Amino acid sequence: MCGIVGYTGNLNAIRVGLEALKRLEYRGYDSSGVAYLDKEKNIQVIKSQGKIRKLEEKIDKINPYSNTAIFHTRWATHGEPSDINAHPHIDCKKILALVHNGIIENYREIKENLKDNHKFISKTDTEVLAHFLEENLNKEKLETKNILKALKLLVESVKGSYALNIIFKDLDKTIFFARKDSPLCIGIGEDENFLASDVTAFLPYTKKVIFLDDFEIGYLTPQKIYIYHVKTGKEFLLESGKIIKNTLNKKIENIPWDVSQAQKGGFKHFMLKEIFEQPKALEDTFLGQKEVLENLVERLKLPSLIVFSACGTSYHASLIGKIYLEKFSNLPCICEYASELRYSKFPYPKDALFIFISQSGETADTLAALREAKKRGFKTLAITNVLGSTISREADYVLYTYAGPEISVASTKAFSTQVLSLYSLAYYLGKKNGLNLNYKSHFSKVFTLIEKLRNFLENSENLKNIQEISKWLASFKNTLYIGRYYNYPLALEGALKLKEISYIHAEGYAAGEMKHGPIALIDENFPVIALATKDSYLEKLKGNIEEIKARKGKVVILSDEENLKSYGDFFIKVDYLEDLTCLLNILPLQLLAYYTADFLGYDVDQPRNLAKSVTVE
């Protein structure tokens, strides 16, 4: 959940790191902090509750300079948001400072063992790690070999998840690290190096990156990167741009993202920018996957069952994927929340294929479910947006989306590119399964889809209409979204978007289930968003709308059928494109949520209590 940054080089680490941290604020924003080495090589710490701008104000007052610093932006787990609980944390003697993303499960036990000799200040689980290292370095000289020995002991003793950046008194231009179950990567620069939770932190400086794996520890200086795997004893050493040792088989990846993709580009919020980027993201994904999909499906053995597993928005994408794969590849599918599947007994046929979907590729529950599936011998396929992410490295097969960096907490273009990926996968699997599909005809619809999306976004009347509906919607406390077939997962996703960023209670429901409970809630104060695009279920959905109106319910109708205008209080016109209509429908739902939250004056990109990547259970 949290964002961490480390920098060592010839520039002012305070200013470089602060800007990098701002690019990670979507990962956590209830407090932030920095630790750095001053001119005497002593550790100094500045922390602040609230947004990063509060930390920046404190930094501006003293304007410190250092070549080595570590930063943190927090999403609270243990201990309420406060200056004291903010990271970095230090030990009793101030010989070290560290920042942490993750959860230490046995911190109480560690704390109990250390309490007689150490004074604890915060309520966090993280602080015990600083005292643990202090305890194990107490009689040792602060040298690299001794610190690595203490870090190895930490990895062997600590239970839970962690990505750690650590600096030590007197050790100038050196940052140590450790990683397990929380993302951490190294950015390789010229006479400077970075550590961060996400590559977006250091994109303006370098696109060269090494992704760290579980149980890896090490350190970096401006000219050197050393990585050691605690379980295997294998090593990696890069010095002055040359790989000296690599028994770990580490790869230096080149990130294809452009710096401008991680900036707002004139839009008020990242979410609005990312909604408008969807036509380009879909085009890049479709073209970028073509050859990959052909090779992937050729290698895959057709399974007797496909099990989708994901969380949140990615789970909603999998529900649409289930429809696609059953329709176009004739393969039975089920969808499971990763947070539930990870505890399952996995009673599936041995040849089942598990498809795990995660924008970040670091979602804790999805990763845990993938590992359980692999442990039981199942084949796994990951669909993710982040090159080199943990899920992409651990799955048997990987299919990347090409959405570019998604900064807003509320996912938009990641969802669309996931759905399109599943549409394409369904066709390739159908072809392998011997179904008579008109490949060229169906895939030409993708470019029609992209054109229709662009047209919708360029039509000012469409945007004005949605803005007016949003102002009306903002006055209610509850909302119901209904749909059938493809539109049922969209109802779930539309409701999720609204509740995430506007804090209006919203519920997505299968329209056929209306009479099994939700209709009891309908009155003039409970508006309904009805997804009523043309399909074989439209007449039944019209019946649902009539039932709502009979109970004085207010209805917003999203449809390609002009004659449905008279059925509702508001009408959003969309185009129809057969099986890809769902990707046309999602656009106004995302805009509806965005404009409602913006009208209410909320922080759209960083909604309360949420963070972009859920890297802890």
* pLDDT tens per residue across span 351-405: 999 999 999 888 889 999 999 999 999 999 999 998 888 899 999 999 999 998 8
Statement: residue 438 has pLDDT above 90: no
For residue 99, give the H/E element and its range: strand 96-101
Under 8 Å between Cβ of 166 and 70: yes
DSSP strand pairing (528-531 vs 555-559): parallel
Any idea what the CATH number is for the domain that residue 303 is in? 3.40.50.10490
Task: Supply the pLDDT for residue 258.
Answer: 62
CA distances to 235, 276, 282, 544 from 447, rounded to whole Å, are: 47, 16, 9, 33
Give the C-alpha separation, 313 to 614, whole Å: 12
For residue 128, give the H/E element and its range: helix 127-137
Task: Supply the pLDDT for residue 397.
Answer: 96
Give the C-alpha separation, 445 to 455, whole Å: 15
Task: Supply the pLDDT for residue 261.
Answer: 57
Asked if the bond preceding 279 is cis, omega within 30° of 0, the reply is no
Which pLDDT band holds residue 8 (cuts at 50, 70, 90)? very high
Mean pLDDT of 340-359: 94
Q: Where are the beta strands (DSSP E) in 212-279?
A: 216-220, 224-229, 235-239, 242-246, 253-254
User: Are 442 and 468 in a shared domain?
Assistant: no
Which pLDDT band holds residue 276 (cuts at 50, 70, 90)? very high
Number of domains in the chain: 3
Which pLDDT band holds residue 48 (cuts at 50, 70, 90)? confident
pLDDT tens digits along 175-196: 999 999 888 999 999 999 999 9
Please list the active-site residues: 2, 612
Give the C-alpha separation, 197 to 613, whole Å: 10
Task: Supply the pLDDT for residue 22.
Answer: 85
pLDDT tens digits along 236-273: 999 998 999 999 999 998 887 665 555 666 788 989 99
User: Are 481 and 446 in a shared domain?
Assistant: no
CA dihedral 605, 610, 615, 617 (to 10 degrees): -160
Nearest CA to 403 out of 197, 261, 269 is that of: 261
User: Are 333 and 187 in a shared domain?
Assistant: no
**Strands laid side by side in the 43-49 sheet:** 43-49, 31-37, 68-74, 3-9, 192-196, 185-188, 208-211, 253-254
**Residue that wins the pLDDT comparison between 205 and 512:** 205
Mean pLDDT of 99-127: 86
Give the C-alpha separation, 460 to 282, whole Å: 22
User: Are 476 and 615 in a shared domain?
Assistant: yes
Residue 472 amino acid letter: W
Task: Supply the pLDDT for residue 46.
Answer: 94
Q: Give the pair of three-digit tokens for residue 44.
A: 């100094």
Q: Which of 204, 239, 255 is the last residue of a domain?
A: 255
pLDDT tens digits along 408-423: 889 999 999 999 999 9
Give the C-alpha separation, 404 to 413, whole Å: 9
Any idea what the CATH number is for the domain that residue 39 is in? 3.60.20.10
User: Are 274 and 312 in a shared domain?
Assistant: yes
For residue 339, give the H/E element and its range: helix 338-341
Q: Which of 197, 232, 255 is the last residue of a domain?
A: 255
User: Are 361 and 228 in a shared domain?
Assistant: no
User: Are 422 and 464 in a shared domain?
Assistant: no
Q: Which of 205, 221, 255 is the last residue of a domain?
A: 255
User: Are 159 and 245 in a shared domain?
Assistant: yes
Q: Which domain holds residue 239?
A: 3-255
User: Are 285 and 339 in a shared domain?
Assistant: yes
User: Are 91 and 119 in a shared domain?
Assistant: yes
Which pLDDT band holds residue 525 (cuts at 50, 70, 90)? confident
User: Are 196 and 291 in a shared domain?
Assistant: no
Which pLDDT band holds residue 534 (cuts at 50, 70, 90)? confident
Statement: residue 615 has pLDDT above 70: no
pLDDT tens digits along 153-172: 999 999 988 999 999 999 99
User: Are 453 and 470 in a shared domain?
Assistant: no
Average pLDDT of every residue of the chain: 90
| Size of the chain in residues | 617
